[in-house]
Each structure stands twice: as structure tokens, then as C-alpha cells.
Amino acid sequence: MAPQRRPLPRSPDSAGPGPGRGGRRHSRYQRGALAVTSCPLSRGRRAQAWWCCDSRGSPGGEAVAQRRARAGTAAPRVRGSPVSARAVPPRSHRPSLTGPALCSFLSARKGRVQQDPRGKWLKAAILLLLSAAAGGGLLVWSRLRTQDGIPEGGIPENGVPEGTVPEDGVTEVLAHRSDNLRDKFVEIPCSEDYDSHKRFAGCTPRKCGRGVTDAVITREEAERIRRIAERGLSLGGSDGGASILDLHSGALSLGKHFVNLYRYFGDKIQDVFTEEDFALYRDVRQRIQQRIAQVFGISSSAMYLTKPTFFSRMNSTGAKTTHDEYWHPHVDKVTYGSFDYTSLLYLSDYSRDFGGGRFVFMDADSNKTVEPRAGRVSFFTSGSENLHRVEKVQWGTRFAITISFSCDPEHGIADPIPGWP
């Protein structure tokens, strides 16, 4: 008996009869077929949809086999394929690509994959909205960073730029720090505050307004005056952000209270202040008084220095008592009935020595700000026509001296002298 030929073993991941005995050899190719029903990259496993293509060159080749089964026809099986048979194009048309590359090739060749134009517009709209939101966020952040003289990236060595964002309402800058003003004056109508007080001819305001000048006190003189303030305030200082030194009454901030520095320190004061210090103080006061009289058209001799006249030192430390809350709007004539004319001599520079701390006139239509500059004098009539406040200091230290004048001789005070009082 002739020996029987054993059928050739089939690969464990092949399905259906192979080329061995008892099986009819199938042609690997079927004319006109473009279906790939299993992935060459997934032998031994069920075909993954994203690896394979159907007859349209789209993912999901198994769908072709299912449609053939429902129609009663079966695709020829190929050795080495899973249970689902694989039909491939004729050799003359078969691309030398497999797996994902084949999917891409067939998709591009057939041009079946099309994008919905509505999807393009939707994506463009979403990108536009995201860009607008990002731009708005950057703008808000930039504004918050630049408020009160603090620029993006922190405080540079040479200070910060001018033109900051106002804290509230519309703000106009009456005097920039970089301006060098000979005289700048704005006349405004007087309030009725002066009618409730005794009038003094040749002194009580009939012409009201506000002025700024950089031509009365030099920068060097302002620095010398500042050193007087620094030495005196070094003896005490408030626990909060605002400290005062009054050389006339001797009032000095100390913790949460005030002390009389002349009594508290006694003879030690002679080692702190010199006769030259007091002489400079008197000379500066007299020049400011004369400029105010000239601008308002009154007699300088009819004006009297009045209290409180004091040095102020402000920083960003939080307030500990109401005396530290210097930023509230107020009217000098209402707070101190003796005031008729108020002046401030600035001893440090806005945006270089400190941030914030601008002087703000609060008018009905807008705010008018004065940016401090060492040696700059700001002066104004003390009634309600000049409602004002000081911005909170954000960083650094702001030095100034408030010098007040009254038309009533009964409220006049003398200049300080060594060993006072």
C-alpha cells in the first residue's frame, strides 16, 4: 500500500483549509476586490479596527466580511489569516503597503474621506474665542500690575514708568514727576466753608484753586530737610504705615501712641537737631508762604503759620490705629477750622522712592493727581473745593512735610527753635 501523504500542518493562527491535502488552493487575489478584512500587523489576534481598512479605504475591514456573510457569499481564505478571510487586490493593482500605511494610501487614492466644512468653521470660532479670552486676561493682568507704579516684571532699578492706571474713576495728572514746573495754577470756585468762619480782609480766600511749583525749593534743600525728618523719626515711629514728627508741638509717633519728643528725650534732642536745621526749616517755610500769597493775591504778612504743621513718613505697613489711615478723603477746613491755605513740600520721588502715594484732588468730573517729586510744592485753598486724599503707599517710603496757614492770628504758631519748647 502506498504511503499516505500527511497534510501539511497549518499555522495555529490560520483558519480554513490551507494549501495541503484535502484543501483547495485559493487564489490570493480576487479581481476587483479592494477589501482587506484582517490586518497583517495583527496575526494571531482579532483585527483591530484602527489598523485595517474596509473596501472604501476606511477603518473596519470586518464590516466587509459581515456584509458578505449576510449576502450568502464568503470571501476566499488565505493561509496565515485569522477566521475572517482576506480578499486582496490583484497583483497588478496591489500597493506595496501594509497596515496603517495601506489605510492612508487607500483613503487618499479613493478620496472618500472628506471633512465637514462646518467642523472647520467651528474649530476656527473656538480658536478665536480662546485667543480673545487670553488677550483679555493678559490685558487685565497688565493693568493690575501697572497700577500704582508697579510694572510688569517687578520694580526696576531706575524706578517705574509714569502713567499708571487710576484707582477709581477718570484720572488726570496735574503734575507728572518728570515735569519741571515753574508755576502751574488752576482756579476753581470757592466753597461756602469760609462763610461759617470769621473773615479777614486781605487774607480770607476770595480766589480759590490749586497750584504746583518746582521753582521755590531746590532738590538739594529738599534732601537736607528730609534728613531732618529721618533723624527725628528714627527716635520713634508708628507701628502702622504712617508716622509723624511735629517740630512745633514736639509730637512724635511712637508705637500706637504719640509722645512729646522734647520732654521724652530731654537734652538728647540737641544732639539730633542743629541750629542750621531749624534755620533751613524757617527759610523753607517763609518761601512757601510768600509764593502762596503771590499766587492768590494776598498779603504774606496777613498769613499765620498754624497747627498742625508736621513731617510725615508713609510706607506699605498695614494700619494699626485710625491715625495710620491717611488715605481717606477729607477737607482740611472741615477737619481743622483754622486752615485757610494748605501746602505740601515733597521730600522723595514717586515711582523711584515709593509706589502709590500720589496726592489726589477729587473733583466731581474726574480726579486730578500730583505725583510727588523731591522739592516740589503743592498748595491749595483749604475748603471743600479741594476735597482730596492720598493713595496708599504700595512699596518704599514717602516723605513730605505739611505746612498750613491761617488768616486768624489767634491760631498762629511760632517757628521751632533749638531746645524748643
Give residue-wise pLDDT tens across range 246-302: 999 999 999 999 999 999 998 888 889 999 999 999 999 999 999 999 999 999 999
Give the pLDDT of residue 417: 82
Predicted confidence at residue 405, as pLDDT, reads: 98
pLDDT of residue 90 exceeding 90, the answer is no
Band of residue 314 on the pLDDT scale cut at 50, 70, 90: very high
- Looking at mean pLDDT, say which of 51-65, 222-236, 267-281 comes out highest: 222-236
| pLDDT the model gives residue 12 | 42
In eight-state DSSP terms, residue 33 is -
Q: Are 343 and 306 in contact (CB under 8 A)?
A: no
Rounded to whole angstroms, the Cα distance separating 406 from 390 reads: 22
> At residue 38, does pLDDT exceed 60?
no
More reliable by pLDDT, 150 or 229: 229
C-alpha–C-alpha distance, residues 184 and 119, integer Å? 63
Short-list 247, 287, 171, CA closest to 417: 247
From the list 195, 211, 251, 239, the residue with the least C-alpha distance to 384 is 195
pLDDT at 310 over 90: yes
pLDDT at 413: 96
* Greater model confidence, 325 or 117: 325
Which of 13-17, 61-65, 203-207, 413-417 shows the lowest per-residue confidence on average (mean pLDDT)?
13-17
Question: Is the pLDDT confidence value at 122 over 50?
Answer: yes
Query: pLDDT > 90: what percent of the chain?
Result: 56
Query: Binning pLDDT at 50, 70 and 90, where does residue 69 land?
Result: low
Distances (CA, A) of 19 to 8, 11, 22, 36, 66: 8, 11, 8, 21, 25
Cell of 213: 511749583
- Write down the pLDDT at residue 270: 86
State what percent of residues in the chain have pLDDT above 70: 60
Measured between alpha carbons, how far is 298 from 207 in angstroms, rounded to an integer? 10
Q: Strands 304-314, 388-390: parallel, antiparallel or unpaired by DSSP?
A: unpaired
Cell output for 329: 478723603
Partners of 330 in the β-ladder: 388
Mean pLDDT, residues 344-356: 98
Q: Does residue 22 register a pLDDT over 90? A: no
Catalytic residue status for 398: yes
The confidence band for 116, taking pLDDT boundaries of 50, 70 and 90, is: low
pTM (predicted TM-score): 0.63
| Those residues with Cβ within 8 angstroms of residue 303's Cβ, 6 or more apart along the chain or in another chain | 203, 289, 292, 293, 340, 341, 405, 406, 407
pLDDT surpasses 70 at 105 = no
Tell me what the pLDDT averaged over the chain comes to: 76
Residue 70 pLDDT class (50, 70, 90 cuts)? low
